[in-house]
């Protein structure tokens, strides 16, 4: 029997089905692509001091490139999320990875600060935003229902695993071979490994391989189970709901206290305080490993407990660790910080994505999460630049870290005020059941 046009991989599907759900293949592909792309995201911290030494640029100017990168990363999110909802994530992933890799590979030939702003701030920012920004929500919601939180945790942990793998590697390469070699290797890995993998194996929907969404058992009317349990705000514009603004405000703090501040300025802070570069790289790798554990665990817990309380606990733990950071003056204590803070670095993603899906519906999660994610990146961009300014004006980062800790405590309260999703059947379903 001839296979239909919707099944582009008939031999592979026949070999895998029914033993393996193809959604797990997609998860593996996206995980690998995000793992390699996260190598790009680890570069700003290790490159800050080498660029400062070689070109004489001040830290605020270098931070401007990082700030623009983070801001554009978020600005493209809503539009990329909408395209992923309507066109599928595969095309956007391919385009974003290509732009990111080519921009990164051009960085070693720069000689002026505006070139760094253009390549890193614009090229890499838009490229990563178009590929890794909202891909997690799109893939998890298209392929999974019962295990959606776990999948979000696994895919989000790819960024943590990338930090664990690439930060010590990049720091080591910079010390022994220079920063240009490190940049070439990271960009080449994305171009030569991630792109072919996505092009060959990535698929947008279960129907593309003759399968149905995991966990969506049909009811008596033939409708998927998720349709029988409507979202709290299914027919309401997200911008008109308090929950959207609570999630956005808390995610602003998330970006401020992670990518923007710690991701950009913790390594320069450690070097300023005389910590050896090798020890600092090891500490950052430990943080990445703990982040992998924390994010995966948060995904697992998102399927089993109140997501609002989980999110609040994560922000609370982060706030306490940041309040302690200005007082840390030795490697062992910094290692303790890495363990505690690492557990919640990206652990906010699974409960936030799951809440977006529960509150606004699977079919709108890409677009809604895209706007929430924009708030995250605005916070990250603000912190990246503010951290550089704080260093230039105050001579250090202590006040910035302390302020970030207070913001995280506020975010804990915001998360706890989000509406609790209620699984309730529609009137139509109730009538059908009766």
Mean pLDDT of the 305-323 span: 93
pLDDT classification of 231: cutoffs 50, 70, 90? low
| Range with the poorest average pLDDT among 44-48, 131-135, 249-253, 358-362 | 131-135
**CB-CB neighbours of 109 under 10 Å:** 9
The pLDDT value recorded for residue 286 is 83
Q: Which two tokens stand for residue 322?
A: 């940041």
Higher pLDDT, 202 or 357: 202
91: which 2 tokens? Answer: 């095309």
Q: Are 55 and 47 in contact (CB under 8 A)?
A: no
pLDDT at 3: 42
How many residues in the chain? 434
User: What predicted TM-score, i.e. pTM, was given to this entire model?
Assistant: 0.69
Q: Look over the chain and give the mean of its residue pLDDT values, rounded to a whole number.
A: 81
SS3 117: helix
**Is pLDDT of 217 > 60?**
no
Q: What are the pLDDT digits (tens) for 65-120?
A: 888 888 887 788 777 777 777 777 888 889 889 999 999 999 999 888 999 899 98
Cis peptide before 18 (omega within 30 of 0): yes
| pLDDT band of 1, cuts 50, 70, 90 | very low
Residues 6+ apart with CB under 8 A from 18: none
Please determine, for residue 227, whether its predicted confidence score (pLDDT) is greater than 50.
no
If one counts every other C-beta atom within 10 angstroms of the C-beta of residue 338, the result is 23
User: pLDDT by residue (tens digit) across 147-158?
Assistant: 877 887 788 778
Q: Which of 16-30, 188-202, 343-357, 362-376 has the highest mean pLDDT?
A: 188-202
Cβ-proximal residues to 248 (8 Å cutoff; 6+ apart), any chain? 371, 372, 375
The mean-pLDDT minimum among 111-115, 254-258, 326-330, 426-430 falls in 426-430
DSSP string, 366-386: HHHHHHHHHHHHHHHHHHHHH
DSSP single-letter state for residue 419 = P
- Kindly state the helix (H) or strand (E) to which residue 43 belongs, with its residue range: none
Of the pLDDT bands very low, low, confident and very high (cuts 50, 70, 90), residue 428 is very low
- pLDDT-derived band at 133 (thresholds 50, 70, 90) equals low
Compute, in degrees rounded to 10, the torsion defined by CA atoms 106, 107, 109, 110. 130
Residue (of 274, 278, 271) closest to 175 by Cα position: 278
- What is the three-class DSSP state of 144? strand
More confident residue, 217 or 57: 57
- Each residue of 281-299: pLDDT tens digit? 778 778 878 887 888 888 8
Q: Are 112 and 57 in contact (CB under 8 A)?
A: no
Residue 221, pLDDT > 50, answer no
Q: Is the pLDDT of residue 232 over 80?
A: no
pLDDT of residue 303: 79
**What's the pLDDT score for residue 233?**
65
pLDDT at 200: 92
d(CA 119, CA 420): 42
pLDDT number for residue 424:
43
Return the residue matching tokens 């592979």: 12
218 pLDDT tier (thresholds 50, 70, 90): very low
Above 90 in pLDDT, residue 349?
no
Domains of the chain and CATH, by start: 18-206+224-420 (1.20.1250.20)
Buried b (16+ CB within 10 A) or exposed e, 31-48: bbbbbbbbbbbbbbbbbb
pLDDT for 423 equals 52
Compute the distance between CA of residue 48 and CA of residue 417 in angstroms, rounded to an integer: 38
pLDDT for res 19: 67
Distance CA 60, CA 69 (A): 14
Residue 2's pLDDT is 41
The whole-number pLDDT of residue 180 equals 92
């Amino acid at each position: 029997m001839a296979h239909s046009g919707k099944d582009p991989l008939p031999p592979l599907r026949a070999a895998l089905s029914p033993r393996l759900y193809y959604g797990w293949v997609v998860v593996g592909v996206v995980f690998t692509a995000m793992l390699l792309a996260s190598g790009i995201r680890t570069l700003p911290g290790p490159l800050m001091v080498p660029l400062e030494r070689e070109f004489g640029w001040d830290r605020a100017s270098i931070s401007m490139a990082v700030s623009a990168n983070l801001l554009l990363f978020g600005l493209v999110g809503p539009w990329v999320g909408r395209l992923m909802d309507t066109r599928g994530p595969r095309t956007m992933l391919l385009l974003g990875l290509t732009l990111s890799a080519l921009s990164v590979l051009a960085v070693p030939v720069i000689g002026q600060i505006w070139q760094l702003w253009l390549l890193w701030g614009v090229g890499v920012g838009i490229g990563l935003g178009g590929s890794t920004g909202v891909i997690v929500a799109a893939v998890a919601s298209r392929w999974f229902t019962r295990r959606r939180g776990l999948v979000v945790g696994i895919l989000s942990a790819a960024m943590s695993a990338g930090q664990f793998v690439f930060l010590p590697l990049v720091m080591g390469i910079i010390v022994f071979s220079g920063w240009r070699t490190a940049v070439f290797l990271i960009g080449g890995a994305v171009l030569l490994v991630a792109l072919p993998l996505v092009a060959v194996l990535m698929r947008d929907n279960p129907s593309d391989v003759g399968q149905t969404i995991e966990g969506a058992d049909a009811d008596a009317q033939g409708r998927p189970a998720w349709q029988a349990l409507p979202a709290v705000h299914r027919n309401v514009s997200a911008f008109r709901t308090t929950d959207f603004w609570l999630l956005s405000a808390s995610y602003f703090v998330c970006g401020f206290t992670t990518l923007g501040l710690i991701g950009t300025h913790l390594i320069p802070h450690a070097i300023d305080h005389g910590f050896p570069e090798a020890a600092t790289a090891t500490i950052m790798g430990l943080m990445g490993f703990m982040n992998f554990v924390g994010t995966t665990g948060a995904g697992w817990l998102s399927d089993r407990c109140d997501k609002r309380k989980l999110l609040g606990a994560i922000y609370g733990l982060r706030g306490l660790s940041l309040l302690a950071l200005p007082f840390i003056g030795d490697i062992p204590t910094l290692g303790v910080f890495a363990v505690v803070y690492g557990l919640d670095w990206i652990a906010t993603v699974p409960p936030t994505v799951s809440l977006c899906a529960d509150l606004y519906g699977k079919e709108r999660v890409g677009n809604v999460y895209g706007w929430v994610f924009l708030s995250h990146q605005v916070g990250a961009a603000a912190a990246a630049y503010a951290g550089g300014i704080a260093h230039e004006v105050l001579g250090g980062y202590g006040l910035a870290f302390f302020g970030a800790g207070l913001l995280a405590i506020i975010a804990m309260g915001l998360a706890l005020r989000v509406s609790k999703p209620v699984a309730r059947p529609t009137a139509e379903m109730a009538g059908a059941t009766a």
